[in-house]
Amino acid sequence: MTRPDAVLWDWDNTLVDGWAAIEAGLAATFRAFDMPVWDRTEVLANVRGSLRDTFPGMFGADWERARDIFYAEVTACHLGVLNPMPGAAAAIAAAGQVAPQGVVSNKQGPLLRAEAAHLGWVGQFRALVGAGDAAADKPDPAPMLMALGAMGVRPSPSIWYVGDTALDMQAARRAGFRAVLLGDAGHDGGIATAAPDLHFPDGDALAAALLALAKG
């Protein structure tokens, strides 16, 4: 395992648990459209792409009304239910000893940056790129390249992208980066489906590996 030139992170279910807000936003939206409400298991199984990539297919011509309902609900509650994932703070601190860091998420950019500020993590990252910030969202490489540009880092196979889903691993490969899976992707077909280049069971294991690289 070689030292990365930069570490890019996914956000939800990688560094933070913000699912309660996403679940609440979807529930409010589904109720407004007289659709069955998803429970937490269904939310975890179905939420992957950005809103602008998924809502048109879910709500058709009314997708912008659905968007506004969703974001109103999420904005009202997301900071109150946000928690770091186990080991996330340690992993971020360890990565900071190895390489510059950024975040590339399919969470709307302003919500992402508000959450990073709420947790006191903004200073850890040179870029915080969310859905809607680039010309396209993950798994398109555009937000990855935007983040690296803001960080002053050239794209290379030595960039790590750390995420929790098969879509994250796909995004990493499409950008030409190293696909690093955090967790077991149990909500997304498992480790074999994600097919990562590197796998760590949790943030503490990743932190230990990064600290070893820093010392090496």
Give me 96's structure tokens: 């900071």
Same domain for 40 and 118: no
What's residue 176's pLDDT? 97
When pLDDT is averaged across residues 134-138 and rounded to a whole number, the result is: 96
Same domain for 32 and 57: yes
What's residue 187's pLDDT? 83
39 within domain boundaries: yes
* pLDDT tens per residue across span 59-96: 999 999 999 999 999 999 999 999 999 999 999 999 99
DSSP assignment of 58-85: HHGGGHHHHHHHHHHHHHHHGGGG-EEP
Same domain for 25 and 13: no
Same domain for 23 and 10: no
Interaxial angle between packed helices 19-32 and 63-77, expressed in degrees from 0 to 180 and rounded to the nearest 10: 140
Give me the chain's average pLDDT, please. 95
Q: Which residues contact 92 (CB under 8 A, 6 or more apart)?
A: 9, 15, 101, 121, 124
Same domain for 177 and 122: yes
1 within domain boundaries: no
| Host domain of residue 168 | 6-17+83-215
Same domain for 144 and 105: yes
Q: What are the backbone dihedrals phi and psi of residue 206, each rounded to the nearest 5 degrees, phi first?
A: -65, -40
Same domain for 209 and 131: yes
C-alpha 14 chain-centroid distance:
6
26 within domain boundaries: yes
Same domain for 101 and 150: yes
Number of domains in the chain: 2
Q: Pick from 57, 81, 105: which residue ends a domain?
A: 81
Same domain for 113 and 49: no
